[in-house]
Structure 1
């Protein structure tokens, strides 16, 4: 029986690397997968899933209007759907992925952040936390050595930012993965 998976972590935990490895494993065994990434994330070029370790590959882009049900129910022979930056999914899209797993026997493995720079859930993450059949926390560490669970936005002076739009695409120059203590004391 297929499942909906949510593999979440703070930044720099290896989510994209893990997704690329899962895709490789399926394909090495002769199975076909479809990869998606958020249209809004253009850090490494449009339509690319890129690991900070270097590996990358093209992926289909999704945005709030993407209809996974329409795209994937007609795709016979598909073994798995892999979604990077899943925090940018809408609640309706997560419900569609849930239906694909349970009605159409198509597993969906979603990788993304749980919370934003204020510690608030992204809409896609909230829906995935509620609907996913399996939740897997991937781990990374804070500069202090504790487990990092928060994504802290920083400014050009390396100071914590506490206000602004929920979505602001950035990398290590704009965000740091930190533990709850460092998040609170920053």
Structure 2
């Protein structure tokens, strides 16, 4: 039975390496997958899924106007799985299209992304995945400053925490740290 999965975690929790691993496992068995990622994330180039350990792969960039359901139906309605990275940047409409891929085309969809931003607000895509996903799983990592589990993304600028500003600022370790609650509120302790 096809289901919609949302695997979320703080920065550096291994989301992108996990999606690449899942794709490899399907394809090793001769099964086709459709790889997608948000068109907003351009750190390694638009339409690239890239892990911090150096593995990367091309994927369909989902732009604001992309109809995910139509794309899957036209290009590979027999796909074994649809894999979506950076799902936090998707719109409500994209999430609803993914539910149609699961319900109408009977293709499992696995999405990976952040749950909350640096202000601890839900991203639009994450909000609707939390509502519509059949299965939700947290991917864990450790705090940048201690040994506790990181559940927050701390935006840094010139060595100082930032708690206000535009929700989306593409970046990696130079701009964001995965942190525990204590270090989110005070990274100097």
TM-score (norm 2): 0.95
Cα distance in 2 for residues equivalent to 1:171 and 1:20: 18
Alignment-derived partner of residue 124 in structure 1 = 125
Paired residue total: 185
After TM superposition, list the pairs within 5 Å mapping 1:37-186 onto structure 2. 37-74=37-74, 75-142=76-143, 143-156=145-158, 158-186=159-187
Structure 1: gaps of 5 or more residues:
none
Cα distance in 1 for residues equivalent to 2:135 and 2:82: 15
Q: In structure 2, the residue corresponding to 1:160 is in which secondary structure?
A: strand
Q: Which ranges of 4 or more aligned residues in structure 1 deviate by more than 3 Å? A: none
Alignment-derived partner of residue 12 in structure 1 = 12
Q: In structure 2, the residue corresponding to 1:81 is in which secondary structure?
A: strand
TM-score (norm 1): 0.97
Give CA deviations for 1:74-121 in whole Å, capped at 9, x if unaligned: 323211110000001101111111121122101110000000000000
Give CA deviations for 1:154-177 in whole Å, capped at 9, x if unaligned: 002x11001110000011010000
Cα distance in 1 for residues equivalent to 2:45 and 2:93: 26
Deviation of residue 185 (structure 1)?
2.0
Cα distance in 2 for residues equivalent to 1:34 and 1:76: 10
Q: Aligned Cα RMSD in Å?
A: 0.9
Q: In structure 1, the residue corresponding to 2:49 is in which secondary structure?
A: strand
Cα distance in 1 for residues equivalent to 2:97 and 2:112: 16
Cα distance in 2 for residues equivalent to 1:63 and 1:167: 15
- 1:23 matched to 2:20? The reply is no
Cα distance in 2 for residues equivalent to 1:41 and 1:121: 17
Give CA deviations for 1:122-150 in whole Å, capped at 9, x if unaligned: 00000000000000100000021100000
Cα distance in 2 for residues equivalent to 1:96 and 1:37: 14
